[in-house]
Structure 1
Amino acid sequence: MAGDGEYKRDQNYITTRITADGRDGYPVEPGRYRLVVARACPWANRASIVRRLLGLEDALSMGIAGPTHDERSWTFDLDPGGKDPVLGIERLQEAFFKRDPEYPRGITVPAIVDIPTGQVVTNDFAQITLDMSTEWTAHHRDGAPELYPDGLRDEIDDVAEKVFQDVNNGVYRCGFASSQEAYERAYGKLWDRLDWLEERLATRRYLVGDTITEADVRLFTTLVRFDAVYHGHFKTNRHKLTELPALWGYTRDLFQTPGFGDTTHFPQIKEHYYVVHTMINPTGIIPSGPDLSGWLTPHGREELGGRPFGDGTPPGPPPEAERVPDPA
């Protein structure tokens, strides 16, 4: 937290990469690594979406931490005995401490753990999904989409950076601000960017090009949480997402696309934010709303053209153990 009350995100992550050539000591190998996510977390949700879209389920297993945690890190309380069945640990911090017994920073998801050693390899959420697209290509499913195509990378990177600064991180800068001035600055930047996105998406189906890309994945995970938590809990309340025609249609379009809605777990999302953030919600009461029935209503975005998977195909249904409940 800055002296002026502005929330500053610690962006120092473990930047070791898993690559096809293994240049950091961790070559791509099916079955060797475990992706650890929490359904509640938007940054982790990105990784679970990309893994689904690319069909990496058989090559990269996934552990799911529960929605709540204490200062010691995410726990595997959803699993029998409270332990991840592959890693055999109760808390994600155990994998971080195996890598560095003095690890000084936050224990974050997503994280990829090297199963043989039990050590975390990386928690660099932005690079993890890019590497899934570019380094794990030998294990992509037939029909996997190009989420980070060569010819669009500069534009994807530019849009994604704007979205990160003002929207993905912007909602946190609103919610965790500790002064009125810092909150209002963050609120202004958030809504300036959401207005920009509303205008951009009024005439195009996707953020960059005519197919789903990494940029869409990154925006979706914030928008899908907007009305459920950010609007009230983080005081981002100029409008609800449902009051923004282009953004609401765009987010519903993605939600109804295999890989997006079927990785979104609204009950866990709400439980995490309203229970863990005791400084914002000291009672720990979880709101009953909002009404989720609108997520499956027609969006009409097909009229703008575009092909969700380009020359590829949708992924099949998620593995039974990874299913999430349908929105009520």
Structure 2
Amino acid sequence: MSLTSPAVESSIRGRIGCDARSGHYAVPRRYRLYLAPACPTCLEIAVTHSLLDLGDTLPVTLLPAVPDAPGGGYAALLPLYEATSHHYPGPAAAPVLSDGWTGRIVSTYVPDILHDLSVRFGGAGPELRPRGSEDEIGALALLCARDISGNAEIAGRPATGPEAGDRALHTLFAALDDLEQRLEGRQFVLGGAAPTAADVQLWVTLVQLDTVHRPHLDTVAARCVSHYPRLWDYARRLAALPAFGAHLDLAAVAAKYHARCPCPAGSPGTGKGQLG
């Protein structure tokens, strides 16, 4: 287990190995996930956990929508962080994968948690990382994080200048155009017969775009976001699946947002988006 530089983002990074020699290895009910319902990375883990049918193998504890500890963390996680790293520089934040045998945290690093859920724990669900799809999944993750979420956030900032805002919107809509075309004739974004990690990533990104970013865009841009029929039909179709929709807590998203910011008109939770 290691800590990354606090200057970037402090993460506790342990891994689940393949056997007892690794220290952490897959044992039913040894580990526990702590997830916050309004956190997009927690939502990605929750959907992955459900798709893999890990409910009996890896229990989940849901945290409050609004962090309740100093620095934006959770009081329930403080003992785990203190036992793992007494001088941990960040808040007691979710998500957390903990080890019940040691009372310590295995990992807070989302890409590792997602990978280990799929590869080490498996389950009765679909193969979320099919062999040969690694590059496609990675490229889709980059497009979601950088071109969609990153640029939607830039475009929605009041202090963003016109040129920066226009560039951000151009990149955002180019990414949405690409996905709209990619989904033609496809049920899932990589074209297979079952959802993969790419679908989980894209769906969570669309949830964030609809519930958090869209209300902060100007009227024209917000209206343009809705003009992607294949993309939003895809998002609603996935939301209708229990593994996805059961974890979509719009009230929690609104509660977390309003706990941090004043509630101007058009802020999250005040208007109907594509997902309800």
TM-score (norm 2): 0.83
For residue 82 of structure 1, what is the aligned residue in structure 2?
none
Match of 1:99 in 2: 84
Which whole-Å CA distance do the structure 1 matches of 2:272 and 2:98 have between them? 37
Q: Are 1:154 and 2:152 counterparts?
A: no
Following TM superposition, by how much is the alpha carbon of 1:121 offset from its aligned partner in structure 2, in angstroms?
1.2
In the alignment, the residues of structure 2 paired with residue 92 and residue 177 of structure 1 have an alpha-carbon distance, to the nearest angstrom, of 34
The offset of 1:193, in angstroms, is 1.3
1:44 matched to which residue of 2?
42
1:136 — aligned with what? Answer: 121
Amino acid corresponding to residue 131 of structure 2 in structure 1: D
What's the offset of the Cα at 1:289? 3.7
Q: 1:76-225 alignment to 2 at 5 Å? A: 90-137=75-122, 140-141=123-124, 144-175=125-156, 179-180=160-161, 182-210=164-192, 211-225=194-208
| Residue in structure 2 matched with residue 244 of structure 1 by the alignment | 228
Separation in 2, partners of 1:166, 1:91? 35
Cα gap change, 1:172/1:242 in structure 2, threshold over 3 Å: closer, same or farther?
A: closer
Deviation of 1:162 after TM superposition, in Å, equals 2.0
| CA positional deviation for 1:115 | 2.1
Asked whether the equivalents of residues 30 and 59 of structure 1 are also in contact (C-alpha less than 8 Å), the reply is yes
Residue 73 (structure 2) aligns with: 74
Asked whether the equivalents of residues 228 and 289 of structure 1 are also in contact (C-alpha less than 8 Å), the reply is no
Task: Return the alpha-carbon distance in structure 1 between the equivalents of residues 220 and 96 of structure 2.
Answer: 31
Higher normalized helix content (fraction of residues): 2
Cα separation, partners in 2 of 1:29 and 1:252, compared to 1, 3 Å: same
- CA change 1:204–1:271 in 2 (3 A) is same
Q: Provide the C-alpha distance between the structure 2 equivalents of 1:177 and 1:238, rounded to a whole number of angstroms.
A: 14
Residue 151 of structure 1 aligns to a residue whose secondary structure is: coil
Task: Render the CA deviation track for 1:57-97: whole Å, top value 9, x for unaligned.
Answer: 1111111111112643333xxxxxxxxxxxxxx33243222
Following superposition, the deviation at residue 41 of structure 1 comes to 0.8
Q: Percent identity?
A: 29
The alpha-carbon deviation at position 229 of structure 1 amounts to: 2.2
SS of alignment partner, residue 246 of structure 2: helix
Shift of 1:254: 0.7
1:274 equivalenced with 2:258 (yes/no): yes
User: 1:169 & 1:287 partners in 2: Cα distance?
Assistant: 17
Q: Is 2:51 the partner of 1:62?
A: no
Pair 1:105–1:198, CA change in 2 (3 A): same
Go from structure 1 to structure 2 and tell me whether the alpha carbon gap of 1:97 and 1:174 turns closer, same or farther (over 3 Å shift).
farther
User: Is 2:209 the counterpart of 1:226?
Assistant: yes
Tell me the C-alpha RMSD between the 2 structures.
2.9
Letter in 2 for 1:47: I
SS in 1 for 2:222: coil
Change in CA separation of 1:170 and 1:274 when aligned onto 2, cut-off 3 Å? farther
Q: Does 1:265 align with 2:249?
A: yes
**Are the aligned partners of 1:31 and 1:60 in contact in 2 as well (CA < 8 Å)?**
yes
Deviates more, 1:282-291 or 1:183-192: 282-291
User: Does structure 1 residue 30 correspond to structure 2 residue 28?
Assistant: yes
Q: Distance in 2 between matches of 1:66 and 1:196?
A: 36
- SS of the equivalent of 2:171 reads helix
Choose 98-107 or 217-226, whichever is displaced more.
Answer: 98-107
**Which one-letter code corresponds to 2:199 in the other structure?**
D
Q: Gapped runs of 5+ residues in structure 1?
A: 1-8, 76-89, 296-326
Shift of 1:12: 4.8
Letter of the 1:207 counterpart: V
Residue of structure 1 in register with 2:4 after alignment: none
Distance 1:121 1:235, change over 3 A: farther
In the alignment of these two chains, the number of paired residues is: 266
Q: 1:100 to 1:178 in 2, by over 3 A?
A: farther
Q: 1:186: Cα distance to partner? A: 3.5
**Which structure 2 segments of 5+ residues have no match?**
1-6
**Partner SS state of residue 97, structure 2:** strand
